Amino acid sequence: MRKSIFMCCKKLTLVKFLFSFLFLIATTTAMYAQDAAEGETLFKNNCAACHNTSDETLVGPGLKGITERRPIEWIVKWVHNPQAVIASGDKYANDLYNKFNKAAMTPYPNFSEAQIKGIIAYIDAANAAPAAPAAGAAPAAGAAAPAAQSSGGMMEVLLVGLLIIMVIVLIALLSIVNSLSKLSKAAEADPSKSFFERVAENAKSLAANSSVKTGVIVLVLLLGGKATIDAAYGVGIHQGYAPEQPIKFSHKLHAGQYQINCNYCHTGVYEGKGANVPSANICMNCHNAIKRESPEIQKIYKALEKDEPIQWVRVHNLPDLAYFNHSQHTNVGGLECKNCHGEIEKMEVVEQRSSLTMGWCIDCHRQTDVNAKGNAYYDKLVEVHNKDSKTPLKVQNIGGLECSKCHY
């Protein structure tokens, strides 16, 4: 009896141990994933302008395998105050400093050790992720669907347009045949008149016809009215506007090739009403060491010497009567910059790709699903909506079409 009780207790202890071990692994994995997620945000907002997660050199060295090169304690000290580590005579720090032309790294004394470990966790996770060509092929195939749908819609418009043109041509041909028939009859009745005389007589008779006059006047009024309405709708629309900037800044190079996060320069894009235009000091975070001799970079130096802001020309400008909040759309709504600004990472010169009209905004609110995932604020709204509807909760369902949302 005692032996059986002992065996039962032993089995229970083993089960508890295994359960605790598995719980520990799960908790550690979850914490690591959370650290990596926070680290990704920190890396993209602060580090991506100068460093790659791979071993490829950008402005500074690639960070792949950084923990294999230096211990975590050294990395924390370096991030907090790189100049102090260099001044201490550390060989690795001085070699690194000299290798990159003595370009000083920006210190981040406010980063906690946990945040720095989160960045490292993100770097490790980025390098541990396997290359998946099949997964890459899937979005391409999926991306082809909207293109095909758009192409199909364009074909329908073209076919309708061709049909209308054919009807107009047919009417014109019938009119010509009718006129030639009349001319032929007139020639048989009076063969003494020339062809041009008969044409002139027909033209005079058409001009004297009240029905023809009315038809011409109505046609002119319709065409004039349409042109006026089209012009009125175009007032204040600057689609395609691409002004020349005081400095030839390439988003294709910075956001495309170097993949610098928009938030690095436009600091309010996720947290403020406006995205903010970057100051010259932000440019100097990199260009105090990179391409200093470039004529365009020299313009930044001159602006700093004169203590004057760079006079950037605004591209996207909404009227004062419309209220727009960047953070509501990017942070809460989860929209990407290109949803409104187009593929900014491919633009040498920034231009206004969207019309930014009220109709354009309303169409977006009608079609866009509410980003309710992980946001408890929307839980009750989603629950109530799903009781009466099988379609996803749209922005229009939560007041996205109310006038006061955008016009105070």
Domain assignment present for residue 323? The answer is no
Split into its structural domains, the chain has a count of 3
Rounded Cα gap, residues 317 and 326, in angstroms: 13
In a domain, 352, yes or no: no
Within this chain, do residues 18 and 124 fall inside the same structural domain, yes or no?
A: yes
pLDDT of residue 43: 85
Whether residue 188 lies inside any domain: the answer is yes
pLDDT at 248: 93
Residue 291 falls inside a structural domain: no
The DSSP symbol for 369 reads: B
Q: How far apart are the first and last CA of the chain?
A: 81
Kindly state whether residue 21 falls inside one of the protein's structural domains.
yes
Paired tokens of 398: 């939560």
Last residue of a domain, one of 185, 211, 235: 235
Rounded to 10 degrees, the C-alpha dihedral 160/161/163/165 comes to: 170
- Say yes or no: 172 and 123 in one domain: no
Q: Which range marks the domain in which residue 174 is found?
A: 167-235
Quick check: is 257 in a domain? no
Give residue 141's pLDDT. Answer: 36
Q: What is the mean pLDDT of each run of 10 residues along the chain (408 residues)?
A: 42 42 45 69 82 83 89 91 90 88 83 88 80 40 38 61 74 68 62 69 71 75 83 82 93 92 92 90 89 91 92 91 93 92 94 91 92 89 89 91 89
| 383/65 Cα distance (integer angstroms) | 46
79: domain CATH number is 1.10.760.10
Task: Choose one of 179, 211, 235: the last residue of a domain.
Answer: 235
Residues 185 and 107 in one domain: no
- C-alpha of 75 from chain center: 34
Give domain status of residue 153, yes or no: no
Burial of residue 173, with CB atoms counted within 10 A of its CB: 0-12 exposed, 13-18 middle, 19 or more buried: exposed
69 and 116 both lie in a single domain: yes
Residue 212: its pLDDT value, please? 66
Same domain assignment for residues 124 and 171 = no
Position 47 in a domain: yes
Name the domain boundary from 206, 235, 264.
235
Domain match, 105 and 58 both: yes
Listing DSSP states for 181-223 in one string gives: HHHHHHHHH-TTS-HHHHHHHHHHHHHH-HHHHHHHHHHHHHH
- Report pLDDT for 38: 82
Q: Are 75 and 67 in contact (CB under 8 A)?
A: yes
Q: Residues 171, 124: one domain?
A: no
Query: How many residues appear in the chain?
Result: 408
192 and 118 belong to one structural domain: no
pLDDT in tens, 57-77: 877 888 988 888 899 999 999
C-beta separation of 290 from 101 below 8 A: no
**Same domain, yes or no, for 115 and 212?**
no
Determine the Cα angle at 297 with ends 294 and 299, to 5°.
115
Q: Do residues 31 and 113 share a domain?
A: yes
User: How far, CA to CA in Å, does 389 sit from each of 292, 392, 397?
Assistant: 60, 8, 11
pTM of this prediction?
0.53
